[in-house]
Structure 1
Amino acid sequence: MKESILYNPLFGIILSLMTYEIGKKIYTRWRYPIFNPLMIAITLTILFLLKFNIPYEAYSKGGDIIMFFLGPATVALGISLYKNSQRLKEYFLPILAGVTAGSFTAIVSVIILGKALGLKKELIISTIPKSITTPIGIELSKSLGGNPSITVIGIMITGITGAISSPFICKFFKIENKISKGIGIGTSSHAVGTSKAIEMGEVEGAMSGLAIGMAGLVTIFLVPILTKFLI
């Protein structure tokens, strides 16, 4: 009986929703960036599985269903982008240049740091897509011969780090332009970072949503070229 409940997809879905709701309530109560709802949800989920010795395979039955909706959720960000389409037309070249520079830096930094730390080629390749959205990152990792599980971990860490640190970074470097904030956050920390950009404002959220798609396309184009010469 217990086995059938744990391996029911509803178990993973309900556990994910409950831990995320707890994270949201904690963040709403104290409003500190360190209390990112997703980070809290991940931590609580891991602790729960370890405490009750529940295999990951049981949780993933429902977790994979949630993962499926990441693609549509990313596309849905286009609604706010549509509302700000005029800004996109006005600043298309600066936006493209910013996304390209950010994607290039994300790829090269992983390769350089990975080689400097003596990491294996597979690990380096698996973490290269860390700054793009999960659906694209998983497929890119597979095509490069990487480990998609490691890729997902890298993407989650990058997104949460971006969501937590982006307000401080913008304040420290005195970045006040709304478009610059959105493009920078979306390019470096994809959908999780975009959740923070949306909190900052509609323009920031729209530009961050735009950057997610553009960064994915630019990364797919740059990765084969850069890995050929740098790895």
Structure 2
Amino acid sequence: MESPLFMVLLTLVGYRVGQALRDRTGGHPAVQPVLVAIVVTAAVIMLLDVDYPTYAAGSGLISFWLGPATVALAVPLHRQARRLRGVAVPMLVAIPLGACVSILTAYLLVTALGGGEELALTMAPKAATTPVSIALSEHFGGLPALTAVVTIIAGILGAVAGPLVLNAARVRDPRARGLAMGAASHGIGTSRALADDEVEGAFSGLSMGLSALATSLLLPVLLLLLG
């Protein structure tokens, strides 16, 4: 039960169950394949008394392919390259501004509620995609494991509630919707955006990458100013 093959199959089956539930519910926002996969996988390894390090080591093949999968997001963007006209300048302003807001609100809210410096540094890079946020947290003295959890939760919440919030705000342009989803909920939100609309998914992938870059560049500057 602790073999790498079992761990990989468990993860893939969990995700497939999520896809099936999403299709059967007509794409209900609460039924995201990633969320279902997390619940199914966690439930099974708990029942089998398998600890997380064992699962992580066994499912390393999936982690390895996350890199190529992220790079592959450039394919739908290339197909929609002509749609960049008219949004390039606003995008290059909005994404760094959004990264600043995310970093500052997370850091200042933790400190305002009495949290320590370590917790504030853990929360600050949550706008970046998981691998980047973990690296930033580790470099600046946060708790990388907790940063990963917070980043994934942000991704799931964004994938579930993001489209509803954008609809309520009457944001109809798929380019704007994609940029918002990618910036707020990284890879998990991007997978939701790709399922909803190809243009939205393409711009979400672009926003995810640019937000990670902006967070990496702005975090040390903002921490210096806050210090």
Partner residue in 1 for 2:20: 25
TM-score relative to the length of structure 1: 0.92
Q: Secondary structure at the match of 2:30?
A: helix
Give the one of 165, 168, 179 matched to 1:169. Answer: 165
Report which stretch shifted further, 146-155 or 181-190.
146-155
Q: Given the superposition, is the C-alpha separation of residues 123 and 67 from structure 1 closer, same or farther in structure 2, using an over 3 Å criterion?
A: farther
% identical equivalent positions: 35
Structure 1 residues 166-218: Cα deviation after superposition (integer angstroms, max 9, x where no partner): 11111111011121111111111111101111123121111111111111111
Alignment of 1:123-162 (within 5 A): 123-162=119-158
The amino acid of 1:24's aligned partner reads Q
Alignment of 1:76-115 (within 5 A): 76-115=72-111
Measure the CA separation in 2 of the matches of 1:52 and 1:37: 22
Q: Is the counterpart of residue 16 in structure 1 residue 15 in structure 2?
A: no
> Structure 1 residue 89: deviation in Å?
4.3
Separation in structure 2 between the aligned mates of residue 124 and residue 63 of structure 1, nearest angstrom? 30
Helix, strand or coil at the partner of 1:174: coil
Distance 2:104 2:187 in 1: 21
Give the AA of the match of 1:172.
A
Residue by residue, what CA displacement relative to the aligned partner does 1:23-44 show, whole Å, maximum 9, x if unpaired? 1111111121111111111112
Contact in 2 for aligned 1:129/1:137 (Cα 8 Å): yes
8 A contact 1:125–1:145 mirrored in 2: yes
Cα displacement (A) at 1:129:
2.0
Moved more, 59-68 or 178-187: 59-68
* C-alpha contact 2:19 2:33 (8 A) present in aligned 1: yes
Question: Does the CA contact (< 8 Å) of 1:12 and 1:58 recur in 2?
Answer: no
Which amino acid in the other structure matches residue 19 of structure 2? K
Q: Which amino acid aligns with 1:187?
A: A
Residue equivalent to 1:198:
194
Contact 2:21–2:31 (CA under 8 A) maintained in structure 1? yes
**Aligned structure 1 segments of 4 or more residues deviating by more than 6 angstroms:** none
In 1, distance between residues paired with 2:61 and 2:133?
17
Q: Which amino acid aligns with 2:157?
A: T
Shift of 1:69: 2.0
1:31-46 paired onto structure 2 within 5 Å: 31-46=27-42
The 10-residue stretch of structure 1 (121-130 or 208-217) with the greater mean CA deviation from structure 2: 121-130
2-structure distance, mates of 1:225, 1:25: 45
Unpaired runs of 5+ residues, structure 2, are: none
Mapped contact 2:96–2:211 kept (Cα < 8 A): yes
Displacement of 1:103 after TM fit?
1.1
What letter corresponds to residue 205 of structure 1 in structure 2? G
Tell me if structure 2 keeps the 8 A contact 1:185–1:194.
yes
Which residue, 214, 221, 226 being the options, matches 1:225?
Answer: 221
**TM-score normalised per structure 2:** 0.93
Q: In structure 1, the residue corresponding to 2:59 is in which secondary structure?
A: helix
Q: Residue 69 of structure 2 aligns to a residue in which SS?
A: helix
Distance 2:64 2:113 in 1: 34
Q: Is residue 71 from structure 1 mapped to residue 67 from structure 2 by the alignment?
A: yes
For 2:106 and 2:133, locate their aligned partners in 1 and report how far apart those are by CA, in whole Å: 14
How many residues are matched? 226
